[in-house]
Structure 1
Amino acid sequence: MLAATAAGLLIVAAVHAFAGVPSLTGSGLVGAALRLAVPVGLAALGALWSERAGVTNLGLEGMMILGTWSAAWVGASHGVWPAVLAGAAGGAIGGLVHAVATVTFGVDQVISGVAINLLTPGLVRYLSTINWEGLPEAGATQSPPVRGAIGTFTVPVLAGGHVGGRRSPDLLGAVERRDWFAVSDAAGLLRGLVAEISWFTLFAVVLFALSWLILWRTPFGLRLRFIGENPGAADSLGVAVYRTKYIAVVVSGALAGLGGAFLVTVASGLYREGQTAGRGYIGLAAMIFGNWRPGGTAAGALLFGYSDALQLRQSGAVRGLILAAGLAFLAIGVLLLRRRRRASAVSLAAGAAAIAWFGLLHQVPTQLVYATPYAVTLIVLVASARRLRMPAADGIPYRRGVIDL
């Protein structure tokens, strides 16, 4: 991982230095990527909990919508931290509905998830009309502003900030402004991770660490993952299969709801219809990219957050990403040349095509800029499909005493 990180840093530094495109590791870009990755990452973490227990959760988008509305409803009158709790509660209600339908009544898990995604927009529109129609700065598609704000913190000395009422040095910022090859890129990357970080972002990082600890280092987590692999064997050993599935799916909904609460309390300060913008689906893709593990899931969320941040910057950054991807494909093709010649040939061809596209494309069309996060989602899923291993019982309904042939 360290070698891959160093190689990637050298590639983006070379793209910035020699191709005349904006820096792909600027602290502003990295900070925006981190903020955009949080709602996707929380939805992905929710999917991880559910699918490790053997329940496919396609309703993450709907649960995020419930989280956004619940957070705005409470936050408009009680403040941001009660809004965060309300967002988790709203998502948990959606998870409970999904658990009742799939675990208790055996409804097809895909149908249940899709139904939640289809019904929740209409439900929250109805609730918005009842609660906010006719209010100033609010209505059927928008809530009143949330009271208060979740603060941010900056690591002193490294990224500035204040210590004892005095302005702290900004060592990483000074190095980044020097524009030294690779060194300034590394400084910008690190500064984006330690400057003006929302407390909600830190809370999300803690949730990832806590999920790893629970699922991989506790007896409860072992039982939950056992259920996702073979619920019948787990049941025969006395594991409470149905109760554990319920817990996992409700936690899944709560985490997705927290992702929605982040959009309301940090990203925008109010609820707007459609503000989830498919992040629940991208979160599911991030979890699959991460191979149903917390670390890989976090990496997938950061990747999609980064691609989303690029399209918010400028078309030149997206053009630079195309060149960086081409160079990365060439490097992978060279590494695989002796061991896997077919994969090497495909990678080399993809790299050559990307570099040729970069040369021909002097300005990226606006439509392609906006489509960057979704294009990255598809490309990453296709590239990582062969190394994935989902839980063996994921998506398979379980009935005690019934053998599914």
Structure 2
Amino acid sequence: MPPTDPAAPTDPAALTAALIRCASVTPAEGGALVLLEDLLSQAGFACTRVDRNGTPNLFARWGARGANRSFGFNGHTDVVPVGDLAAWTHDPFGAETEGDWLYGRGATDMKSGVAAFAAAAIDFVRETPPDGAVILAITGDEEGDATDGTVALLDWMAGQGERMTHCLVGEPTCPDTMGQMMKIGRRGSMTAWFTAQGVQGHSAYPHRAKNPMRALTTLLSRLPDTLDAGTAHFDASTLQITTIDCGNPANNVIPAKGSATVNIRFNDSHTGAALADWLRAEAAKVEAETGVTIATRIQISGESFVTPPGELSALIARAVQAETGVTPELSTTGGTSDARFVKNHCPVVEFGLVGRTMHQVDERVSMTQIHQLKSIYSRILKDYFA
């Protein structure tokens, strides 16, 4: 990008288009962070690439390290794969426009959010230099395993004495209309893989075999879809069976091995460790009953968390209401985000665009809403440092 006139307002829609043209499918950087580093450096931000294990990340700060107040934005430039290219009506990396719509992979999730907060930050520090610091922590590893993305940035910041006092994650948070919702927390997420080892045999002589599939279906039947009734800030915890398989092509053979996977989204009445203990205990009971061995592997992607309504959520709600006329709902719905890592560093809230087309074919974003989001972020910065 940057604009030819350094005094001109930074156009967030044009910056979104430039980022879409960077084919940054996880784990490729695709030029997105290079573009942002160049733009932010020219605006006076001290930029550092914090790449770890091949994962690209960018830290940018305007103002003094260790400032008493430092407002941070967090986001990602990596995107999910395109999928069936033939199904797209627009080039997924072409940043093509049709009316008010800007098309491309990452248009909604979340190159527009990154463009909006980068543009807001650049114009804010140029026009009204704050008494404090503005920090942008941008990763290329949110859509992947997320082990060396925002986590790496936060680890590096701790080692360098860098700190955000408050942070806004720019993920798309509004289900249908602009300003509708902000996220003050997220449910925890975990996945369990069960592998059952039995004894192969003829289906006409089941007494000579140990059927791992029967053991798995017995176990799965004891794991309810809903684990509780919800809590003050969270919906009910849920468990979903995502696959059952044994790869058996024969209809008259009892297989020797089978597998099943479940995914749990849990609220603050549970911990990942407690749920893992429960799953292993249920598997052990079925083992004892059937004689089939069940190995259990568990991955906890994140614990539930909530940033209690207060100074930060009120600041963001006022800015959203002023720019859109809508007072956002405080929510903890949806999947996980990198806010689950930031919450260990400082209070964090998420607010961004309408996310209806994220990860879809012909992903697209309203350019009007991108400009609106920049205005919201600009007002947040102005009010925060007022």
> Larger relative contact order (C-alpha < 8 A, sep ≥ 6)?
1
Short-chain TM bin: under 0.3
State the TM-score, normalizing by the size of structure 1.
0.23
Larger radius of gyration: 2
Q: Which has the higher strand share?
A: 2
Higher helix share: 1
